[in-house]
Amino acid sequence: MAELANVSVATVSYVLSGKNRPVAAETRQRVLDAARQLGYTPNQAARSLRKRRTQRVCLVLSSFGGVPSDARLATDLHEMADAHGYSVVTLAVYSEARAQAAVDMLRGGIADGALIHVVGDHLAHDLLSGLAATGLPMVVLSNESGLEGCDVVRTPEVEASAMAVDHLLDTGRRRIAFMAHRYEVYRDQPSGRMLGYTTALERHGVSERIITGGADDRVSAYQTATELLSSPDRPDAIFAASDRAALSAIWAARDLGLSVPGDVAIVGAGNIDEGLISNPQLSTVGPLRHDYTDVVRLLFDRLQAEEPPPVREIVRSWTFVRRGSS
């Protein structure tokens, strides 16, 4: 291969191994062309044995599919993994049993590092802390406090959610319902988006709380919104914990002959692109851009470091985006 590309054996090794050595773009392309011509495929198993590494990273999510932000996170992880010669294995944690199984597999060496975004209470603090204590390179998207030994990515959901409810109250709404995820309903104390909801109501002296489930999927959200808006004392606003639920609430309102936002204002969370093509466009809280490159880079910085770098924490900004639905 070196002869075909007219380069040294060392240069071929640098290019095909992915080592961070300076190689001219033209030279690199000649090596890659020669590899394709010869049908060369790296022996990942042998390489992994030599390095005592799997050349895999693990993405840990709450479920498979259905969450637009998770899909973008997965895409950005796959793209950077490809660039660094890694493959990606994905684990879904939707129960305590699945959480324990995921931790056991990561402890067993299924991957060289993990990017973890699990909402709810299945992947408990002690499981995460114990996993980080093994030295596994980890990046965790979580607002939970006290995580040590891993990089943490936080989002100020409480503040942004409170801004949304402040807006609803400032526009004269007083019976504001919160459509929560299932796990939020059963928590002893409100957190995240629900905490933003209750914080704003308290700040404005509004005592009534209308809290219901339904935010986990579109069908449940439509059914829940239909029940809420069919009641004699229907709410005049709905703040949904997901944009998918809020979009279903808009459909439910329109099917009942109600106008949005005239009869009921609706706000979601997540700022997904679909909110821009709803009628009316969806007011929401969330990031202004969906790009997880900075998050994914944290993991690969850890994987490539000779010594574990200091623990880092980044905050991805959230804000309230007012559109036509409120």
pLDDT in tens, 109-152: 999 999 999 777 777 788 888 888 898 999 999 888 778 889 99
Closest among 150, 139, 181 to 292, alpha carbons compared: 139
Amino acid 228 reads L
Rounded to an integer, what is the distance from CA 263 to the centroid of its chain?
A: 33
Q: What is the pLDDT of residues 10-69, one digit of tens each?
A: 777 777 765 556 777 788 788 778 777 776 655 444 444 444 578 999 999 887 766 788
pTM of the model: 0.78
Q: 223-251 b/e with 16+ CB inside 10 Å = b?
A: ebbbebbeeeebbbbbbbbbbbbbbbbbb
Q: Are 175 and 210 in contact (CB under 8 A)?
A: yes
Structure tokens at 139: 């990046």
Helix (H) or strand (E) holding 196: helix 192-203
Tokens of 19: 């080592």
